[in-house]
Copies of this chain bind each other. A is one copy, B any other.
Amino acid sequence: MGKALIVGAGGVASVVVHKCCQNSDVFEEICIASRTVEKCDALKNKLDGGRTKIHTAQLNADNTDEVINIIKKFEPDVVINVALPYQDLTIMDACLATGVHYVDTANYEPPDTPKFEYKWQWAYKEKFEEAGITALLGSGFDPGVTGVFTAYAQKHHFDEIHTIDIVDANAGDHGYPFATNFNPEINIREITANGRYFENGQWIETEPLSEKRVYDLPEIGPKDIYLLYHEELESLSVNIKGIKKIRFWMTFSEKYLTHLRVLENVGMTSIEPIEFEGKEIIPLQFLKAILPDPASLGPRTKGKTNIGCIIRGIKDGKPKTYYIYNVCDHEECYKEVGSQAISYTTGVPAMIGAMLIIKGIWKKPGVYNVEEFDPDPFMEALNKNGLPWQENFTPTLID
């Protein structure tokens, strides 16, 4: 049916590739492109021989012309961008130049002042409309599925949504005293940044990790959750009409926070270079080098993730609460695709977004977040592709 260019060859890209190959009726051909072509080749070697034809290419995605050249050569229907968030715009430019649809999982961030903000990508809306192509932003789990869950709640369960609490819990245990998932810079930035939530039309800042609750999560149990800012809050605050309050909560264990606080105290999380043996060294980069490689966590991680939305509002004139969530098991993910749940929950929705675009089910010219499309086909695809969701109509609320 179609062809996808997958930019990136890390943990999430690997899940996307596996899932595309599981849906070879839609993804007849894929091309995996990244700076390190050996990583792409390794993925190809692992999955070759199925019905999806796999190509690989060396690509510096910072360079729009290189992306254009690969698109012209491979002629994909859609580009799935699971590389670094610094490259969203160069890849979107290449899609515009070639008339190819675009999907990503995280908002663009300027490399020098990284920030969770959609303004740079939303600014492409008219250009994508004029080019007649679709850019689907933030089609991971959070952002991504959390937006689809909200759109689904809006469509089927509420006349008005008033509050949303997104709860992202990872009860995985990798057995190391300390390690970070994904890129440790991003983890560290997440918890050292101010929290922020939306209430009555305003954004309210909170001190880092100052808002804490204990929440008893299905299949995981009671966990410390902390209020953070997360990028889907921005799009949901705009796209869910009548919304009064949106917050995002993430679990961190006391042990994890103690480690991170100590590392911050001694200066190991700093990005200011220091002079060491005649060389400028950024402490955070050195910390990354001594911590376990995030890629090594997969085979060792046990336990589950639970990510979902607790939604309150009005249906048929009466107050209603609704909790929709997915539970994902690290070990099962690893068995299936060789990555644990963190990569799995991001990669599967990226594949689904691209699949809905190739099938023509989610297709409207412009730049959109996931909650702006009909959630039903996406929700159906989640159930079919390893991320089944569950509902609870009497959840405990977060005060």
A319 at the interface (CB under 8 A from B): no
The answer for the CA separation of A178 and B258 in the assembled complex, in Å, is 13
Q: Interface stretch among A68-76, A140-148, A262-270?
A: A262-270
Q: Answer yes or no: A46 CB below 8 A from chain B CBs.
A: no
Within the complex, the shortest CB–CB distance from A105 to chain B, in Å, comes to 28
A259 near B265 with CB under 8 A, answer yes
Are B266 and A258 in contact, with the CB atoms below 8 A? no
Count A-side interface residues using an 8 Å CB cutoff. Answer: 23
A382 to B240, CA, bound (A): 77
Residues of B within 8 A of A270 (CB): 290
Q: List 20 A-B contacts (CB under 8 A).
A: A177-B262, A177-B265, A177-B266, A178-B262, A178-B265, A258-B262, A259-B265, A262-B263, A266-B287, A266-B290, A266-B291, A267-B290, A267-B291, A268-B268, A276-B289, A277-B279, A277-B285, A281-B281, A283-B286, A286-B286
Contact of A274 among B262, B265, B289 (CB under 8 A): B289
Interface readout for A151-194 with B: 1 if CB under 8 Å, 0 if not?
A: 00000000000000000000000000110000000000000000
Q: How far is the CA of A258 from the CA of B290 in the complex (A)?
A: 19
Interface residues of A (CB under 8 A from B): 177-178, 258-259, 262-263, 265-268, 270, 274, 276-277, 279, 281, 283, 285-287, 289-291
**Residues of B contacting A279 in the complex (Cβ-Cβ under 8 angstroms):** 277, 279
Q: How far is the CB of A33 from chain B (nearest CB, A)?
A: 26
Chain B residue contacts of A259, Cβ below 8 A: 262, 265-266
9 nearest A-B pairs in the assembled complex, by CB-CB distance: A177-B265, A262-B262, A267-B290, A276-B289, A259-B262, A178-B266, A178-B265, A283-B290, A286-B286
Taking CB atoms, residues of chain B closer than 8 Å to A267 are 290-291
Shortest A338–chain B CB gap in Å is 26
Residue among A258, A265, A266, A274 with max Cβ neighbours from chain B (10 Å)? A266
Report chain B residues within 8 Å CB of A274: 289-290
Chain B neighbourhood of A265, CB < 8 A: 177-178, 259
Q: Find chain B residues with CB under 8 A from A178 CB.
A: 262, 265-266
Nearest chain B CB to A279 CB, angstrom units: 6
